[in-house]
Amino acid sequence: MDTATETETEQIVFVTEDGVPTGETGPKLASHHEHTRLHLAFSCYVLRRSDNALLITQRALHKKVWPGVWTNSVCGHPAPGETLEDAVRRRAGYELGMPSLSGLHCVLPNYRYRTPPFQGIVENEFCPVFAAWADTEPAPNPDEVGDWRWVAWTDYTSLLNDPSANVSYWAKDQFEQLKAIEPFSGLWADGVAE
């Protein structure tokens, strides 16, 4: 399926404040606007097994929502009837060329956020957060990813705290909860070069 067809037909799942699907779905792009309804999504942080470096990505510059921002490894929306774990693996394969993640597990099952408007679009997501490990280098899809790098957790912390850095709202917001839980709380001493 080509990118244009995928984005036109991809459906998002609307949920209650507790993340329970309402039974309603909507087209992904058309559903994101200034009054975006709460819907199901996910974020995933991929660590390199050899040294626990974190894969961060820059969203492609032509993306409709949050183009060019640096963020965690991969984000997305499960399709109707798709489990979150299957959605993470599908999007990691599609966006990063990394369909084989190991140790995939949910670290923030009830994470929820709403962004300020960005070019008239508000993100409003019930967004469980996952961690996983990879043994291979990414081969990103240029339709999704403009740039990428492996960084030490301490360097990621510096990036998030740099007011001039173009970093996603949700990456900054998630960090406040992630920094105190495993596997991230154990990464402060890891010295990983970029």
Task: Identify whether 125 is a catalytic site residue.
Answer: yes
**Cα distance between residue 109 and residue 106, in whole Å:** 6
Q: Exactly one of 95, 123, 125, 144 is catalytic; which is it?
A: 125
Task: Identify whether 75 is a catalytic site residue.
Answer: yes
Helix (H) / strand (E) element for 9: namely helix 3-9
**Cα distance between residue 139 and residue 159, in whole Å:** 23
CA-based nearest residue to 183, from 135, 132, 112: 132
CA-based nearest residue to 35, from 111, 115, 126: 115
Strand partners, 105: 131
Q: Exactly one of 44, 75, 85, 123 is catalytic; which is it?
A: 75
Catalytic residues: 75, 125
